Chains A and B, each alone.
Chain A
Amino acid sequence: MYGYEIVQAIRRRSDAAIAVGEGVVYPVLHALEHDGALRSRRKTVNGRSRVYYSITPRGSRRFADLSNAWTNLATAIQKMLTGGQYAKEGVR
């Protein structure tokens, strides 16, 4: 995917809930590439030369770790918000 496609995907998947200045995604992509989580390749498609990004094995591992951490955190917050066992028992 190239930068514009990535931004479109973020908008689509988040139902436009995540709406930042679209250009700020590039420093993040460059930083991820610098860290070895992404690799980039310039390709010409339909006469347009663009930088395409793909995830590396290291990036996949990092993504899995972050995804797990986020899921755990989100679950914990959800439990706190809904009250967990205390919601069923009622707070006395």
Chain B
Amino acid sequence: MPKKVFDELRERLLQAGVAPRHVQRYLTELADHLTDTRAEEERAGRSRADAESVALSRLGSVDRLAQAMIDQRQFKSWCARAPWAMFDVAPLLLAGAYFLACMYLRCGWTIFQPGADSPFGAPVGPMYGFGNIYFQAGKLYYSSAPILVGWAIGFIAARQRLKAVWPTVALLLIAWMGATAQIHAGRTAVPRGLGHISMSFFGPGPSPHAVFGELMYAAVIFSFTVLPYLIWRLQRALSA
């Protein structure tokens, strides 16, 4: 019985935009309170079932408990207050992940390919063991970054019970950004041979064939990122 009440209350609060950490704390304190009240009623001579029923009614109805928290507007999450801002800046998260990838590449270039004009060309001299693993791990991180960021967005949207439109927009942006991202690196392009790494995003490819490839790649990224969120929504729809 209390579990059902608390589940309903949790859903009401999350759907109203109350931040999950405030919801969790509220529910924890209510559960503690219910335990104390039930113990008090049992000490007064009631059976366990009666004590629980009285304790629940003393706690208050779900409507009143939910409204009391919803009225405290300072506990609303930023995602609920400004979802357009939270999710439309999602590409910044991906840009941050790509920045780390560039730093990683720069380090590998300096350590394992110090004489090469570009880290993407044929290696200067043999590259075995750790160097090879290092660059393969970098490739894996670079390829999976949009998917990991997309999953994080889906998780936040699910946790806060947000409307599907905002995470969908964010995932589309991320998919297109991931599909069109390009790293440029060269040593001779800059004076004194220090080397230079840059990235470009969102620009369509130079030919219809390239654009088609980017669209396909964006569709793959979008499918992978949206899948867990979609499954979660379907499960909720089926259990409702």
Which residue on chain B has the smallest CB distance to residue A5?
B36
Contacts of A26 on B, CB cut-off 8 Å? 26, 29-30, 33, 68-69
A24 touches which of B22, B28, B68 (Cβ 8 Å): B68
B37 touches which of A22, A31, A50 (Cβ 8 Å): A22
B61 within 8 A of A: yes
Q: Are A34 and B74 in contact (CB under 8 A)?
A: yes
Contacts of A24 on B, CB cut-off 8 Å? 60, 64-65, 68
A-B contact count (CB 8 A): 63
Contacts of A3 on B, CB cut-off 8 Å? 29, 32-33
Q: A3-B33, A4-B33, A30-B75 are in contact. Are A20 and B60 (CB under 8 A)?
A: yes
Q: Are A51 and B58 in contact (CB under 8 A)?
A: no
Total interface residues on B, CB under 8 Å, equals 22
B36 to chain A minimum Cβ distance, whole angstroms, is 4
List residues of A (18-43) whose CB comes within 8 Å of B's CBs: 20-24, 26-28, 30-31, 34
Contacts of B68 on A, CB cut-off 8 Å? 21, 23-24, 26-28
User: What are 29 A-to-B residue pairs whose CB atoms are below 8 Å?
Assistant: A4-B32, A4-B37, A21-B58, A21-B59, A21-B65, A22-B37, A22-B58, A22-B59, A23-B33, A23-B59, A23-B65, A24-B60, A24-B64, A24-B65, A26-B26, A26-B30, A26-B33, A26-B69, A27-B68, A27-B69, A27-B72, A28-B68, A30-B22, A31-B74, A31-B75, A34-B72, A34-B75, A51-B28, A51-B29
CA distance A21 to B54 in the complex (A): 12
CA distance A21 to B30 in the complex (A): 11
CA distance A3 to B58 in the complex (A): 14
CA distance A3 to B26 in the complex (A): 11
Which residue on chain A has the smallest CB distance to residue B75?
A30
List residues of B (33-69) whose CB comes within 8 Å of A's CBs: 33, 36-37, 58-61, 64-65, 68-69
Contact string, B9-28, partner A, CB cutoff 8 A, digits 1/0? 00000000000001001101
Total interface residues on A, CB under 8 Å, equals 18
Q: A22-B58, A23-B59, A24-B60 are in contact. Are A48 and B33 (CB under 8 A)?
A: no
Contacts of B69 on A, CB cut-off 8 Å? 26-27
CA distance A82 to B52 in the complex (A): 46
Contacts of B58 on A, CB cut-off 8 Å? 21-22
Contacts of A23 on B, CB cut-off 8 Å? 30, 33, 59-60, 64-65, 68
Could you tell me the dominant secondary structure of chain B's interface residues? helix
Contacts of B64 on A, CB cut-off 8 Å? 21, 23-24
Q: Which among B26, B64, B68, B75 has the highest number of chain A CB atoms within 10 Å?
A: B68
Contacts of A48 on B, CB cut-off 8 Å? 32
List residues of B (72-87) whose CB comes within 8 Å of A's CBs: 72, 74-75
CA distance A30 to B65 in the complex (A): 13
Contacts of A30 on B, CB cut-off 8 Å? 22, 25-26, 72, 75
B37 to chain A minimum Cβ distance, whole angstroms, is 7
Contacts of A51 on B, CB cut-off 8 Å? 25, 28-29, 32
